[in-house]
């Protein structure tokens, strides 16, 4: 079997957010937070923003282009319309951030949030999502039709931490690997949150191996492919792990769901075949195709020592025969 553990470790380093991203994301969050918490027009609503999303959960992959800020309103009344909230948030943030050095507006009103661009941070933007508190402890955010929708995103961070402990730290690594694979094999939708929560559901149901990162990655792809087969066949929604009894839906067209089903099934088959390979070079080529390039355009999965980029053995390695006393540096294991 081709374990290639060293190569998977290096692949994870390649998809890790850059030092600049790790520095810029919290800076952008703090600027937006300061604008909202100091605004007189929002004071009576008890605005208390907090980071959520993949960056908060430490499952972002390079490059970090968006940061989600969950703008909790502890004191807002139920009579305030979602459109009024969004209008007020927009006015406050537009007053704070205005236009960039080229005269472009930095703040945009979206259907459910307010987006603030940070061109000085290499295209990073912050999505500020207003949320009003419910009596049952959950939250509500604006919907596209001007209503309110129940949600509980902070709980995802708690669940992530617990699952990561269950998998001895491999759960977060697996989320990053399947997010990178989704980025490589899909055009757009369904997005990264879908594969993360499909993976979480598979882990809850013990369908993802705990016997190492490589077999964990293979079984993760297989589980996501199985779910997508069900999704396309009969429209099952993912259970929402943050709110018992609720389900999650994700935006995608029928063609996008079908493409995701077919491509994840193909990816799962390729990963399983790579894992059962006895030739480390051929296995590495397959994993390299699945993980593609990171946000900086660099190949994610490196070749193991002694192999060319096409997976063939280097001449010096191929000439080694049994009994040879001097061999090239590096071990002879699969990573």
**CB distance 57 to 117 below 8 Å:** no
Q: Give the pLDDT of residue 318.
A: 58
Higher pLDDT, 245 or 231: 245
Mean confidence (pLDDT) of the chain: 93
Closest CA to 199 of 255, 150, 159, 251: 159
Look at residue 101 and tell me if it is in a domain: yes
Give the rounded percent of residues in the chain with a pLDDT score beyond 70. Answer: 94
Q: Which stretches of 114-248 are assigned E, i.e. beta strand? A: 114-118, 124-133, 139-142, 148-151, 238-239, 247-248
Q: Is residue 81 part of a domain?
A: yes
Q: Measured between alpha carbons, how far is 113 from 131 in angstroms, rounded to an integer?
A: 10
Confidence of residue 289 (pLDDT cuts 50, 70, 90): very high
Res 42: pLDDT = 98
pTM of the model: 0.91
- Using H for helix, E for strand and C for coil, what is the string for 280-335? HHHHHHHHHHHHCECCCCCECCCCCCCECCCCCECHHHHCCCCCCCCCCCCCCCCC
In a domain, 177, yes or no: no
Does 317 have pLDDT greater than 80?
Answer: no
Handedness of CA 13, 15, 19, 23 (dihedral sign): negative
Kindly state the average pLDDT of the residues 250-273: 95
Q: Which tokens sit at 7?
A: 């190569």
Tokens for 72, please give them. Answer: 């909790």
Q: Residues 132-185: pLDDT tens digits? A: 999 999 999 999 999 999 999 999 999 999 999 999 999 999 999 999 999 999
Answer for the pair 299, 280: CB distance below 8 angstroms, yes or no. no
Q: What is the CATH number of the domain that holds 111?
A: 3.30.460.90
Rg (CA), the chain: 23
- Domain assignment present for residue 88? The answer is yes
Pairing state of beta strands 247-248 and 148-151? Answer: unpaired
Residue 126 falls within a domain, yes or no?
Answer: yes
Please report the pLDDT score of residue 307 as a whole number. 97
Which among 138, 48, 148, 130 has a CA at the least distance from the CA of 85? 130
pLDDT score for 319: 54
**Residue 274 pLDDT greater than 90, yes or no:** yes
pLDDT at residue number 320: 54
**Residue 3 within a domain:** no
Tokens representing 135 are: 């009596």
Q: What is the pLDDT of residue 132?
A: 97
Q: What is the pLDDT of residue 69?
A: 98
Q: CA-to-CA distance for 222 and 99, rounded, in angstroms?
A: 46
207 belongs to a structural domain: no
Beta strands in 157-281 (DSSP E): 238-239, 247-248
Range of the domain at 109: 19-152
- Predicted pLDDT at 329: 45
Q: How far apart are CA 265 and CA 262, in angstroms?
A: 5
pLDDT at 324: 47
pLDDT of residue 330: 44
Averaged pLDDT for residues 92-114? 96
Q: How many domains does the chain have?
A: 1
Q: What are the Cα distances from residue 148, in Å, to 86, 156, 267?
A: 12, 20, 38
Residue 93 lies in a domain: yes
Single out the residue of 146, 155, 150, 145 nearest to residue 133, CA to CA: 150
Q: With left for phi above 0 and alpha for psi between -120 and 50, is residue 334 left, alpha or beta?
A: beta
Residues 144 and 110: their CA atoms lie apart, in Å, by 9
Q: What is the pLDDT of residue 331?
A: 41
Q: How far is CA 184 from CA 66, 250, 278, 289, 296, in A?
A: 19, 19, 25, 8, 13
Distance separating alpha carbons of residues 136 and 138, to the nearest angstrom: 6
> What is the per-residue pLDDT for 232?
77
Bond into 190 cis (ω within 30)? yes
Here the tokens at position 183 are 């980025």
Q: How far apart are CA 57 and CA 51, in angstroms?
A: 9
| CA dist., res. 147 & res. 78, Å (int) | 11
Residue 220 pLDDT level (bands cut at 50, 70, 90)? very high
Q: What is the pLDDT of residue 327?
A: 46
Give the three-class secondary structure for 10.
helix
């Amino acid at each position: 079997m081709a374990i290639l553990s060293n190569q998977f470790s290096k692949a994870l380093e390649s998809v890790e957010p850059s030092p600049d991203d790790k520095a810029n994301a919290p800076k952008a969050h703090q600027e937006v937070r300061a604008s909202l918490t100091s605004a007189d027009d929002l004071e009576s609503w008890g605005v208390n923003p907090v980071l959520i999303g993949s960056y908060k959960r430490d499952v972002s992959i390079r490059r970090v282009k968006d940061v989600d800020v969950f703008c909790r309103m502890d004191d807002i009344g139920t009579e305030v319309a979602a459109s009024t909230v969004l209008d007020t948030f927009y006015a406050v943030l537009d007053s704070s951030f205005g236009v960039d050095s080229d005269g472009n507006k930095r703040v945009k009103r979206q259907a459910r949030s307010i987006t603030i661009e940070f061109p000085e941070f290499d295209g990073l933007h912050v999505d500020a999502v207003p949320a009003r508190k419910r009596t049952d402890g959950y939250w509500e955010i604006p919907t596209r039709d001007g209503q309110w929708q129940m949600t509980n995103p902070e709980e995802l961070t708690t669940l992530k931490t617990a699952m990561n402990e269950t998998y001895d730290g491999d759960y977060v690594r697996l989320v990053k690997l399947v997010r990178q694979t989704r980025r490589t094999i899909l055009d757009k939708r369904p997005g990264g949150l879908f594969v993360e929560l499909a993976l979480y559901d598979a882990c809850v149901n013990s369908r993802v191996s705990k016997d190492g990162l490589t077999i964990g990655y293979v079984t993760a792809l297989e589980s996501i492919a199985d779910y997508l087969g069900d999704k396309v066949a009969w429209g099952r929604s993912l259970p929402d792990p943050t709110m018992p009894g609720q389900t999650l839906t994700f935006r995608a067209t029928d063609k996008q769901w079908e493409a995701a089903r077919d491509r994840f099934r193909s990816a799962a088959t390729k990963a399983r075949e790579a894992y059962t390979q006895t030739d480390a070079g051929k296995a590495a080529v397959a994993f390299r195709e699945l993980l593609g390039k990171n946000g900086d355009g660099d190949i994610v999965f490196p070749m193991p020592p002694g192999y060319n980029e096409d997976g063939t053995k280097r001449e010096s390695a191929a000439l080694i025969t049994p009994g040879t006393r001097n061999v090239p540096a590096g071990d002879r294991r699969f990573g």
